[in-house]
Amino acid sequence: MYKLFLCLRYLRSRVIAYFAVLGVALCVAMMLIVVSVMNGFLNRVEKAAKGLFGDIVVEATSVHGMGLYDEFIAELRAKVPAVQAASPFILNRCFLQVPGNTAGSQIVQAAGIRLPQRADVTDIARGLCYQQGDSQPTFDPPVRELLDRQEQLIGSLETIIKKLPAGEDTSADALILHSRLENAMLAHLWSKSILQNALSYQDDIRTLQAELDAAYAKSHGEPTAHTEELEKRLDELVQKASYQPPPYHVILGLGIPGFSFRTPEGQTVRLLMAGNRVAISLIPLGQLSAASTLSLNTKMFTVVDDCCTDVASIDSEIVYLPFETLQRLNGMEAQIDPQDPNHVAIPARCNQIHVKVAGADGGEDRLAAVCSQVEAAWRNFYSAHAEQIGADASVLTWRQRQAAIVGPIEKQRTLTVIMFGIISLVSVVLIFVIFYMIVFQKTKDIGVLKAVGASSPGVAGIFLAYGAAVGLVGSILGTIGGYYFVRYINEIQDAIDHWFGFRVWDRDIFMFEKIPNEVQLIPVLLIVAGAIAAGLVGALIPAWRAARMQPVEALRYE
Amino acid sequence: MSEPAIQVEGLHKSYHLDKVMLHVLRGVSFTVPAGQFAAVVGASGSGKSTLLHLIGLLDRPDRGTVSLAGQDISTWPARRRNHARCMEVGFVFQFYHLLGELNVLENVLLPPLVNASTLGWWSARRPARRRAMEIIDRVGLSQRLRHRPKELSGGERQRVAIARAMINRPKVLLADEPTGNLDSATGREIMELLKDCNRRDGQTVLVVTHDVSLADQTDRILHLRDGRLSE
């Protein structure tokens, strides 16, 4: 009992113990911040990879892609029950232009996806702006809904503008910001006016497009007088509406340079929104012909949404197009046999199939097991249809597919945690030095305790309990401090940036908009246990020294 | 004659001081009957405190035996010696040796606290506290329960030390120059307290002092000179 009593009393009354507690608290907070940020960073990289590729990727080994993907998906779902959803995917480099604005031209990647099926495989729906919260997003959302959302965006921008200090700040930065916000407001209003105009044409465009698709289906894709007539009418309607038909709708990544900017407070302001038209040009790399015959395919697209995955490298690079549209532009559509219009000579192709596995959070082993099943299914399917499929494919888990990115980050995390762990050993040394000093100061007390019957293990116990208590109190304070630091790490960075003009986290370097700020329980418990152990280890030698003291020597100590 | 509370036989003790060997005790033998108030007198450095430390189980002799209530303490294991230091012997030091972080009451409660297990303390604390209050009242410090040692005078600190030594009702009370750091009036008060312990509680009290006038107040005086004892 006296061990606990004296330990608490020494903890309260020895000012020097506060320094030991402070040292431990700082080390714990530092470890917590480093581990949380590094883990958060890795988690986001993993999440981003899964967000883009799903859990398992079946990827064609040739740029021409693989055929019979829908047949394989159907077989896969029938044969591998763990497969929850699967979706074909095409990826190609493209040139993105805003008509009338040559400065806004960008080289980006066009991703051909099927909506809403894609939302079952990845979490694309989560980051959409105009179809926010819609679990069944589409490339053809009702213009009325786009208009409502546009009104909200205008309202948000007005709020940002109202919050600016009117006329007070005349610095160059403030004036530039004012000017950019005014331009953004014009762009918002312009977008609204396009959508208002398109509102009355959308149904007619849809109907005509459906008629055209049916006509092409009837003629096996060959132009006829009827299709030409329909195309002409559709073109006139599109010109009037300034709004493309559904196959030519695009979702932009929110972060493509020049299409949005961030205010100093971190708000994203869009400059190109729903209703605007962009031209997309690409070389049809999927076309099965000699490279010399490849020519640029260019089409106009209407922006219907933008997508924020929170991964800067994805958001600034990718635009999403309807799968069949990109397939056509990329030369991967089905080829009809000229001799027999009812026979498909070469089936339509895709680059990848992204697979969502049910309960994929069950761990890497489970995912690897399902991946093996998918691979086996592919091998069977490919051996049965190799001629029609064309190129073979590799089957990889998202982690294997992204090993080149995730692996180094994992190693970096481990290295950083080890380095900071070594730095945190300073707390052991700190406690050792402070306790060694305390034992010297308390030599007479040790003599008195032994004189009134305290045993050597009992005396050692006081200092060990004292060390553990310093570790515990320090780790509690450090955990609280570290938790709040991590939680408000982005605000702290903004404050540092505001006051000192120094930005630690650069989205261009670290891929993400914000510093990850999730604190996980297991690392916290490990760090707290480590801090208590550090307290015990630091106090071990002083405690041993105290225990060895003879009462007479201790009482005579000057 | 009552049974011996303290029995010392042929006690030898020497120390190394740098490279010199100091023979502090050279075959000291004596017996103190239970309930006697005895004093060991000697010049500074004559080995009085060393003798008291050996009797009080704070040190071990080179040769010879010390017996408390007829039991040879040299055969006792560490656990038994710890228990005896807590329950069977009370020690009063010249420099009080109170714990600065604890107040008067807590300092007095230290021996029962050391003796109790964590769970045992919850049942032992009430009687221990009652006994501490009673004994603090007896040494005249009931108004200063919450005071820290640094807030007390030398005489008050020594009273606290006596109360601490008495709390577990040890059969033997050892006092090492208990008045050595006090003025003569306070010293007399402390001696009165020790006498009171001897008379009222029947405790065997052995005081070491260099002050002959103080020793005169005891029942018996033993002289320690050059490591040897004479009466």
Q: Name the residue among B78, B91, B102 with its Cβ closest to that of A451.
A: B91
Q: How confident is the model at residue B106 (pLDDT cuts 50, 70, 90)?
A: very high
Query: Half-sphere exposure of B30 toward its Cβ, with a 13 Å CA cutoff?
Result: 22
| Dist CA A127 CA A419 (whole Å) | 36
User: What are the DSSP calls for A26-73, one per residue?
Assistant: HHHHHHHHHHHHHHHHHHHHHHHHHHHH-SEEEEESSTT-EE-HHHHH
Residue from A452, A459, A466 to probe the interface with B (highest B Cβ count within 10 Å): A452
Q: Which distant-in-sequence residues (6+ apart) come within 8 Å of A154 by Cβ? A: A185, A188, A189, A192
Interchain CB distance below 8 Å, A10 and B118: no
| Helix, strand, coil % in chain A, rounded to nearest 5 | 60, 15, 25
Q: Is pLDDT above 80 for B197? A: yes
* Amino acid letter, B43: A
Measured between beta carbons, the chain A residues lying within 8 angstroms of B101 are 6, 9-10, 13-14
Neighbours of B206 (CB within 10 A): 26
Interchain CB distance below 8 Å, A453 and B85: yes
Name the one residue in this structure whose structure tokens are 């922006």: A303
Q: Which of B162, B178, B164, B174 lies closest to B94 in space, CA to CA?
A: B178
B97: closest chain A residue by CA: A448
Helix axes B154-166, B104-115, angle to 10 degrees: 20
Q: What is the pLDDT of residue A180?
A: 86
Span B50-60, average pLDDT: 92
Domain B4-230 falls under CATH 3.40.50.720: no
Q: Is pLDDT above 90 for A53? A: no
Q: Name the residue among B98, B102, B115 with its Cβ closest to that of A453.
A: B115
- Name the burial class of residue A502, with classes exposed (0-12), middle (13-18) and buried (19+) by CB atoms within 10 angstroms of its CB: exposed
Q: Is A107 on the interface with B (CB under 8 A)?
A: no
Q: What is the pLDDT of residue B72?
A: 92
Interchain CB distance below 8 Å, B116 and A4: no
B180/B63: higher pLDDT: B63
Interchain CB distance below 8 Å, B113 and A550: no
CA distance A443 to chain B (A): 11
Q: How confident is the model at residue A71 (pLDDT cuts 50, 70, 90)?
A: very high
Q: Name the residue among B79, B84, B113 with its Cβ closest to that of A455.
A: B79
| Dist CA A222 CA A338 (whole Å) | 10
CB-based contact A463:A471 (threshold 8 Å): no
Q: Which of A105, A63, A55 lies closest to A82 in space, CA to CA?
A: A55
Span A407-430, average pLDDT: 84
- Is residue A110 helix, strand or coil? strand
| Dist CA B35 CA A326 (whole Å) | 109
Q: Which of B154, B111, B118 lies closest to B135 in space, CA to CA?
A: B111
Q: How confident is the model at residue A112 (pLDDT cuts 50, 70, 90)?
A: very high
Q: Name the residue among A1, A444, A551 with its Cβ closest to that of B116.
A: A1
| Dist CA A363 CA A366 (whole Å) | 6
Backbone angles phi, psi at B102, to 5 degrees: -105, 150
- Is residue B21 helix, strand or coil? strand
Beta bridge pairs of residue B228: B225
CA distance B1 to chain A (A): 30
pTM: 0.68
Express each pLDDT in A175-185 by its tens digit.
Answer: 888 888 888 89
Interchain CB distance below 8 Å, A1 and B86: no
Q: Which distant-in-sequence residues (6+ apart) come within 8 Å of A379 by Cβ? A: none
B12/B211: higher pLDDT: B12
Q: What is the pLDDT of residue A508?
A: 57
Interchain CB distance below 8 Å, A445 and B99: yes
Q: What is the pLDDT of residue A537?
A: 86
CB-based contact A108:A319 (threshold 8 Å): yes
Backbone angles phi, psi at A299, to 5 degrees: -140, 150
Q: Name the residue among A444, A449, A552 with its Cβ closest to that of B53.
A: A552
Interchain CB distance below 8 Å, A452 and B164: yes
Q: Name the residue among B97, B100, B114 with its Cβ closest to that of A453.
A: B114
CA distance B221 to chain A (A): 25
Q: What is the pLDDT of residue B231?
A: 76
* Amino acid letter, B195: K
Span A522-543, average pLDDT: 87
Q: Which secondary structure element, helix H or strand E, spans residue B183, and what is its range?
A: none
Residues of chain B with a CB closer than 8 angstroms to some CB in chain A: 53, 56, 58-59, 78-79, 82-87, 91, 93, 97-102, 110-111, 113-118, 120-121, 164
Q: How confident is the model at residue A37 (pLDDT cuts 50, 70, 90)?
A: confident
Average pLDDT for chain A = 85
Q: Is A441 on the interface with B (CB under 8 A)?
A: no
Span A443-451, average pLDDT: 89
Q: What is the pLDDT of residue A103?
A: 67
Span A96-118, average pLDDT: 85
Span B189-193, average pLDDT: 87
B56: closest chain A residue by CA: A451
Name the one residue in this structure whose structure tokens are 């010696």: B81
| Helix, strand, coil % in chain B, rounded to nearest 5 | 40, 30, 30
Q: Which distant-in-sequence residues (6+ apart) come within 8 Å of A419 by Cβ? A: none
Interchain CB distance below 8 Å, A451 and B56: yes
| Dist CA A342 CA A290 (whole Å) | 26
| Dist CA A456 CA A355 (whole Å) | 65
- Is residue A89 helix, strand or coil? strand
| Dist CA A352 CA B157 (whole Å) | 87
A13/B145: higher pLDDT: B145
Q: Which of A2-6, A463-467, B4-8, B117-121 is predicted with the least confidence, judged by mean pLDDT?
A: B117-121
Name the one residue in this structure whose structure tokens are 């960008």: A106
Span B54-75, average pLDDT: 91
Q: How confident is the model at residue A362 (pLDDT cuts 50, 70, 90)?
A: low
| Dist CA A161 CA A182 (whole Å) | 8
User: What are the DSSP calls for chain B, one per residue?
Assistant: -PPEEEEEEEEEEEEEETTEEEEEEEEEEEEEETT-EEEEE--TTSSHHHHHHHHTTSS--SEEEEEETTEEGGG--HHHHHHHHHHTEEEE-TT----TTS-HHHHHHHHHHHHS-HHHHHHHHHHHHHHHHHHHHHTT-GGGTT--GGGS-HHHHHHHHHHHHHTT--SEEEEESTTTTS-HHHHHHHHHHHHHHHHHH--EEEEEES-HHHHTTSSEEEEEETTEEE-
Q: Which of A94-103, A234-243, A315-324 is predicted with the least confidence, judged by mean pLDDT?
A: A94-103
Residue from A1, A15, A552 to probe the interface with B (highest B Cβ count within 10 Å): A1
Name the one residue in this structure whose structure tokens are 């044969």: A79
Q: Name the residue among B79, B87, B114 with its Cβ closest to that of A2.
A: B114
Express each pLDDT in A209-234 by its tens digit.
Answer: 889 888 888 887 778 888 899 889 88
Q: How confident is the model at residue A242 (pLDDT cuts 50, 70, 90)?
A: confident
Q: Which secondary structure element, helix H or strand E, spans residue B44, and what is its range?
A: none
Span B80-84, average pLDDT: 92
Pairing of strands B89-92, A352-357: unpaired
- Is residue B8 helix, strand or coil? strand
Q: Which of A223-227, A284-288, A372-376, A464-468 is predicted with the least confidence, judged by mean pLDDT?
A: A284-288
Interchain CB distance below 8 Å, B56 and A2: no
CB-based contact A319:A96 (threshold 8 Å): yes
- Is residue A275 helix, strand or coil? coil
Q: Is pLDDT above 80 for B14? A: yes
Q: Which secondary structure element, helix H or strand E, spans residue B7, and what is its range?
A: strand B4-17
* Structure token digits, residue A490: 């982005």
Q: Is A444 on the interface with B (CB under 8 A)?
A: yes
Q: Name the residue among A14, A448, A453 with its Cβ closest to that of B86.
A: A453
Span B207-217, average pLDDT: 88
Express each pLDDT in A343-360 by its tens digit.
Answer: 888 889 999 999 988 876
Q: Above pLDDT 90, what percent of chain A?
A: 21
Q: Is pLDDT above 60 for A461? A: yes
Instruction: Delimit the domains of chain B by residue range.
Output: 4-230
Beta bridge pairs of residue B25: B13
B-proximal residues of A, 8-47, CB under 8 Å: 9-10, 13-14
Beta bridge pairs of residue B71: B68
Q: How confident is the model at residue B89 (pLDDT cuts 50, 70, 90)?
A: very high
Interchain CB distance below 8 Å, A13 and B101: yes
Interchain CB distance below 8 Å, A551 and B58: yes
Q: Which of A411, A298, A475 lies closest to A45 in space, CA to CA?
A: A411
CA distance A475 to chain B (A): 25
Residue from B15, B58, B122 to probe the interface with A (highest A Cβ count within 10 Å): B58
Interchain CB distance below 8 Å, B114 and A552: no
Q: What is the pLDDT of residue B9?
A: 93
Average pLDDT for chain B = 89
| Dist CA B163 CA B131 (whole Å) | 10
Q: Is the peptide bond before A116 cis (omega within 30 degrees of 0)?
A: yes
Q: Is pLDDT above 80 for A87? A: yes
